[in-house]
Chain A
Amino acid sequence: MVKKSIHEINGRIRDGSVNVVTAEEMVDIVGELGAEGAAKEVDVVTTGTFGAMCSSGVWLNFGHSEPPIRIGKLWLNDVEAYSGVAAVDAYIGATQQSQSKGMEYGGAHVIEDLVRGNSIDMHGISPGTDCYPRKVIDTTINIYDLNQAIMLNPRNSYQKYNAATNSTNHTLHTYMGSLLPHYGNVTYSGAGVLSPMHNDPNYETIGTGTRIFLGGTQGYIVGEGTQHSPAAGFGTLMLKGDLKKMSSEYIRAATFEGYGTSLYVGMGIPIPILNEDLAKATAITDDDIVTNLLDYGIPSRDRPVLRTVTYGELRSGSIDIDGKEVPTSPMSSFKKSRQIANELKEWIRAGDFLVSMPVERLPTTTPCNAMKQTNVNPLVVDIMSSDVTTIHEDAGFHDAAKIIMEKQFNHLPVVDSGNHLVGIVTAWDISKAVAKDEHDLVKDIMTRNVVTTSPDEAIDISAFKLDSNNVSALPVVDSNKHVLGIVTSDDISKLLARRH
C-alpha cells in the first residue's frame, strides 16, 4: 500500500525531483504499471478544462472619488454591474448584457477587456448622502487603476455536463450553441479525460483552499459551487483568483447567438497522488465518463434523456441517435484544456507551484432542488378560446374574408378534409390576395408553416413562441393536429393585466 504525504510531495517539488504528468498521460502509466506502481512513480497529476462558464464574474474596487460617492447603480461600458455593496465595490457578472449593444457585448466582454488592459467607461449614480454627497460619477478606468479585481466564480468546472440535441423542426439557439432540426447535430461540454473533478471523484484533494490554475495564474477553490449535486455526478466549484494576473489566453468572452454572453474560463487542478486510489481515479478515460443526451427541443426543466453517451463516443465526431449517425461538436476546447494541464505541469516541475490539501472537504450529499413556485403556472387550456371557426383549404378566400368579418377575429385556421390543421389565414393574407389578384383559393394564400401550441403547454412558453416567431396567435391542436382552440397575444396580455 503506497502512502505519501502532501509535505513529501511538496519537498520533491522544492528539490526538483517531483514526477508530474497530465491526466491524459496517467492513463497509460496506470495501464502499464498498475495503480500501485503508478502511485509510487507519479507524485502529481494535472488536469485542465477550458469552456463556457456562465456563472462567473469579478469583484472590483475603484477607490473613492472626490467628493465621495456611494454608488447605487453602475455601468461599465454600458453593462450593469451590481453595486449594492458599500460605496465603491461592484460585481460584474459574465452574462449581464450591454444596454445598447445587447448580446453582442456583455459582462464577459468587460472582463476580457479588463484582462487585456483596455479602457472601460464607467458611469455610476447615487441618491447622495451627507457622508457620500456625490450623485453622479463618469470616468474611464482600466485594470491597473483598480485596487482589486478579484475573480469570484460561483459555479465553475462542472464535473460533467449533459450533451444536447434537438428533435424539433427548427434550429434552436442555446447556451449549447446552434442545435439543428431533426437531430441534426449534438453538442457537448467538458474536457473528458482531463476533466478536473472526474479525476478525483471522491473529492479527496479537491476542496476548500485547494490551490489551482485559474485564468493563467494561481487561484483557489472557495468551496462547493452553487447547484453542486455530487450524488448525481454533477459536482461544481466556486473559484477565486486575481484577475490582474490573468491572461486573455485563458479568459475569453463569448456570445451564443440567440442566448447571450458567457465567459470561457481556463482552469486546472493538480491532484497529488497520495495513494493508490487516487492513482486509479486519475486513470479515468473518456470511455469511462458517461453523460446524458438531452432533447433541448422540449422547453422544460425536465428534458427527456434520449440515451446515455460516453465522452469517448462524443469525441469520436459522431454518435448514433435512432439509427442515424449525427455529428458532434464540443463547446469546450480540448486543445486549450491540454495546454492548461501542461502549463500547470511545468509550473510544478519548475518549483513555482506547490500542491495543497483542502482545509475542508466538499459536501458529497448536497441535493440540488428545483425552485419552489408558489403561483400555479397557467396553461394554454386556461385562457384559450375554444369557440374557433376553421375553414377548408379548398374554400375561396372570399369565404374566409366573410368569416373573419362576421366573427370579428383576425386568424382563421385552415384544415384539410380530415380536419387536420394545414395552415392559417389572416386579414393581411386576404388583403394581399385582393391586391395581387392572382389566386382564388384559401390554400394558395394561407401560411403553411403554422406555429402551434397544445392545451397543456405553459402560457410562458406560448408567449415566448408568439414573440420569437413574430406572430400574434397560435392555434391550439391535439396530437392529431385537430384544432381545439386559439390563443392570441391579446389573451395573454389580459392574463398579465390580471396578474399584476
Chain B
Amino acid sequence: MMIKINMAADIVTTPILAEAIIETGSLLNISQAHFDPIHGEVVAEIPSDQLAKIRDALVNRGAEVVVLNTPIHRDEDECVECGACISVCPVKVFSFADDWSIEVDSDKCIQCGTCLKMCPHNALALGQ
C-alpha cells in the first residue's frame, strides 16, 4: 500500500525516516520525495500489515501520515479520451490502449492532483 508522509519545518532536517525504518525493520520503499527548507513530502510503498507500526514510529517523531487509498477516479461519461492527463502525471497512471482509449492504472496513483487541473472536461476526481 502507498502512504504519504508530511514533515513540517521543525523536523525536515532530522533523519526520521531512517529512524523509523531501523525501529520497525519495515521495508519502506520511497517512490516520490520532495524537500525544501520548510516542508518535506514523501510518498512510499509499505507492506500493508505493517501500516500501524510504521505510522506510529513516524507520528511519534512529528510527521503526518496519510494512507493513499483513494486513487484517481475517472468519470467515463465526461471523459472524451483526449489524453491530456497523460503527460502531466508524474507516475504514468494514464496511457493509451491500442485503440486510443485511455487506460488508468490507479494503483500507481500518488494523489498529487496535477491531472485534475489538466483535464479539460472535469472528468477526474480524487477521494471518491
Contact = CB atoms under 8 A, between A and B. Distances in A.
A334 B121 CA distance: 16
B100 A177 contact: no
Most chain B C-beta atoms within 10 Å of own C-beta, residue among A180, A334, A335: A335
Contacts of A329: 82-88, 118
14 contacts: A177-B120, A178-B117, A180-B87, A184-B88, A185-B87, A187-B87, A252-B121, A264-B121, A317-B96, A327-B86, A327-B87, A328-B86, A334-B100, A335-B81
Contacts, number: 71
Q: Which of A51, A187, A338 has the most CB of B within 10 A?
A: A187
| Chain B interface mostly | loop
A262 B120 contact: yes
A331 B88 contact: no
Interface string A318-345: 0000000011111111111010000000
A332 B82 contact: yes
A262 B88 CA distance: 20
B101 interface: yes
Interface stretch (A130-138, A212-220, A225-233, A253-261): A253-261
Nearest to B101: A335
Interface in B67-99: 80-88, 96, 99
A465 B92 CA distance: 32
A328 B84 CA distance: 9
The 4 closest A-B pairs by CB, nearest first: A329-B87, A185-B87, A254-B120, A327-B87
Contacts of B114: 178
Q: Which of B82, B100, B122 has the most CB of A within 10 A?
A: B82
A186 B101 contact: no
Nearest to A252: B80
Interface in B28-42: none
A446 to B, nearest CB: 12
A173 interface: yes
Given A178-B117, A257-B117, A338-B100, A333 B82 contact: yes
A197 interface: no
Interface string A237-256: 00000000000000011111
A173 B83 contact: no
Contacts of A184: 88
Contact of A330 (B83, B99, B117, B118): B83
A1 B120 CA distance: 47
